Chain A
Amino acid sequence: MEKMKLLAEWKYEPKKIERGYAGRTLYVNIGDRSFKEKPVTEDMKEKFVGGRGFGLKLLWDAVKDTTKWNDPENELVISGGPLCGITQYPGSGKCYTVFISPLTEQTYDSNAGGYFGPLLKFSGWDALEVQGKSDRDVILFIDGDNNKVEVYESPFEDINAVTITEALHEYFADSEEDKRNISVASTGKGAETTNWGCLNMSFYDLRRKTPRLKQAGRGGGGTVFRDKKLAAIVVRKRGVGPASNNPADISVLQRTGLKLHKEIRDLDDQQNKMRKVGTPHLNEIMNEYHLLPVHNYKFGQHPEASKIHSKIFEKLFTQGIPDGCWYGCSMACAKAVDGFELKTGPLKGKKVTVDGPEYETCAGLGSNIGIFDPEWIIEANFYADHYGIDTISLGTGLAFVCECYELGFLNKDITNGLELKFGSKDDLMELIHRMGRGDDKFASIVGLGIHKMKKVFAEKYGAPFEVMEKIGMEGQGIEVSEYVPKESVAQWGGYFLTLKGPQHDEAWLIFMDRVNKQLPTFEDKAEALHYFPNFRLWFSLVGLCKLPWNDIEPADNVVKYKGIEAAKVPEHVQNYVDLFNAVTGKSITKEELIVQSERVYNFQRVFQLRLGKGTRRDHNIPLRAIGPVFPEEWEVRTEYYDNELKAAGIDSKGLTTEEKIRKLQEYRLSQWEQLVDAVYKRRGWNKNGIPTVETLKRLGIDYPDVVEVVRKHSKPEDNWEE
């Protein structure tokens, strides 16, 4: 590769990490190519902890109430958190990217594995804030070895992820071994042509001799990245080791880590087999329990689901390689298919390593679009990553398109010759390539996302908006991830009463609610919708991966603890408390851990409000998410749905299926409203879903500008009656 043209350079003082923090953040304006460092105050650590918390705080200070996703003042803030980069405990290399999303037009945060977060911190920065827009494609390089930041003009014609990541690992490394000290954040052409742009964060796999890509998939962060004309961000830091975080008590990290390594070694094969199959262990489980999305979430099961059984992926994934996406992750679920020969697209005939597919991709780019062909799924997975497109939004978006096509709302004239029925493998793959090329008008409309597609399909092609409103699986502007929520009231909240839209990273309560029957009342559901979102948010503050929390559990967990307590995996929660204290030198309790999250949860809620969202109106739910829309959905589960009507005290004798569907919808919508009320009350919000000033005070986030936003939007009639 030719020498890149340097456009700007900035030198900084080296900084030793103290107890998990560098104590400062890096600001880069990619528009005027200016740089500065900002201090991390004690208050910032106390109230926002790190990671997503830092991202939200920095973004809050950077934008106006009116800022849109493509305004120059929108930022991409990437931050790991105080535990990010420890090597003793599995799952400690995550970083979080925060930005205003092109899909939801409010703040979004998305996490990725790979080495980016740790290497950024060990280069001396708790967060990287990128603002402004460049006039040309650039590569931002953080050189943690020589303590400088550089901006290069990008020489790349092809900015797709695999191409650019391979080239930049090569360019910035002195040797094959040195490639491990580099991480590249990139996206691809599809992030320009769609709102579904993802970020790929790399780590170099020395055994395979290739970079691997882990995605911050959701929310359109890649689209913001390309809007700023970033081609890549590279970070390099050599000499990272077990003490790089300079923890207060390293022995606790070693002890706690060893305990979990042992659990994983002894129990993973009997539990989720994460080391062999990764998250696709869920493929058959979800199908068995009617939760696998099939044909745009119409159904939860399909006879051909056995073709995407994890046993099949187990054979396709290369075995015997420790697939951790950061040092020390013995959970090692970052599975990959090696030597995969691409059958289509610009790299046709090339043999590649494909990261994944994960469960979500198997379902989104599989069952949900009526495809049960593992090789097709792997190919689609590869190209989605390469083009920088989130596989989840892509899968759910394509499922919506297929249903619209089958309902006759779209035809080949509209789709420029593509027959987009469920299972139309060749034409669906071609549509993905058209998104990756950006040369097709229909593909561009699809890439707007379901929320906007509904409007365009109605206005341009006369498709009935009210039907699309029922079947379009999105909330707050973003596509639902890959679980059928219609049979669990609590999961309606887990998906649709969320900060940023229906993603499964807040609460996944389907089993607890529907199968285990542990949440019988609305208050029980609200309690779970308080605890689990807050507990899970904590991972995003400190730089940890959620999977080692409960995809492995101590052998005696279900003997020692009962019910919901067991579901919390108390010993692992204690590990997290111990790890936090051992790194930072603080002494929080498990209750304080939840309060740390609750602060950021409420701060983000107020942030959405500040940007013109964040009220009850924005917690919308499509009818397909709460029950059947069409008779065929009812008729595959007649017994279940008839019983549901009966349990609701509705006499269904003599009713047609359509009438029964209407009755159930009415009933479930009233349940939805009850759920919303119960959850808002539990969270300390008013009737309109706005945190009260008392809640802000209780959490210590009653900063004047935060309180002002709440006051401005709160009305007396939204207070709860005594």
Chain B
Amino acid sequence: MTDESPRSFGFETRAIHAGSAPDPATGARATPIYQTTSFVFEDVDEAAALFNLQKVGFIYSRLTNPTVAVLEEKLANLEGGVGGTCTSSGHAAQILALFPLMGPGDELVASKKLYGGSLNQFANSFPRAFGWKVTFVDPDDPENFRKAITPRTKALFIESLANPGGVVCDIRAIADVADAAGIPLIVDNTMATPYLCRPIEHGATLVVHSTTKFLSGHGNSVGGIVIDSGKFDWRNGKFPALSEPEPGYHGLRFADTFGHLAFTIHGHAIGLRDLGPSMAPLNAFLTIAGVETLALRMERHCANAKAVAEFLKGHPAVAWVNYAGLPDSPYHALAKRYLPNGAGAVFTFGLKGGYEEGVRMVESVELFSHLANIGDTRSLIIHPASTTHRQLSPEGLKAAGATPDVIRISVGLESVDDIIADLDRALNKLG
């Protein structure tokens, strides 16, 4: 689409204003929290037009809600997409992204270096609940995706910057593989955020987020979103849910009738309607407030993370640091290309000791919070082997990059000297 006029606003301006016009009903300057389940119809004709998708408006907050819609438009704008569908969590966004593409027996090729929760969702629940088969490949060589594609493959799935290993994917090369196969590339952009990386500019069709992390940014609301680039033509025979008559809407063909907006309208009219994982208006409100300061926060998150990574690298109790922002990272070149403004604020490092030292580390820090989240104003720490990954065997821990020596941190926005001093004190206790 060529909707963008030559003079477009900068990222910071759009983060604050896109989608967030004053409330049309009241003029309220901050987006109001529309804490209501439903919206009255003017008359029966209006109701019919709304239910037939012939009129754009609000019916019921499982499908659309004015507060949530502001966040959808804002994030779609920041990612350079045509529209977005907010969900109750990042995991729900992943289901909603795949739901229109996949049927029982269909296949997904995914990076094997994904957030551990996504690996579980893909490997265990998707096949069992939906009959979707997922093949995992090493994303470091884009050829691996091509080799794993079969006639039943309906999408490729990667993380731009993977949680937690400091892995950066060659988005353009993998998008080219997807294009050649006539299937979309889906990119989880949670760790990078659109401030650091905009996968659609590198050829991605769909972008998903856990808005729980840096987008909401304050550790106070779980949420997710699917954003469509509007660039994929769903009528190539592989995506009947979008191209064939939909019985729930009198035989409507979404791709024919809604063109480049089909995926987003389907996401609300079928995805949220039938699966039901909608975002709560209060969570949308808190996330909108978070996104307004995204640029400032990410700049500082990245600066603090880089300083912390450099400090850790020089500490005698630390064996290695996996941060793509360090020049000796194997992903440094890809980070410079895809994350020119910073390599994010979440990474792992290895202790010279093992399991006992890992436990002692997370129990000795005082400023860091010991918990299972990332992307908060607060600095966060976790020892995967004793927490998130404790059900895995030694081989499983190795494959997941969660050996007993591994510590993951999410560097927050406290004074960087205080963050470093806290780690230094805890590391020195390991002796």
Is chain B found bound to chain A in the same assembly? no
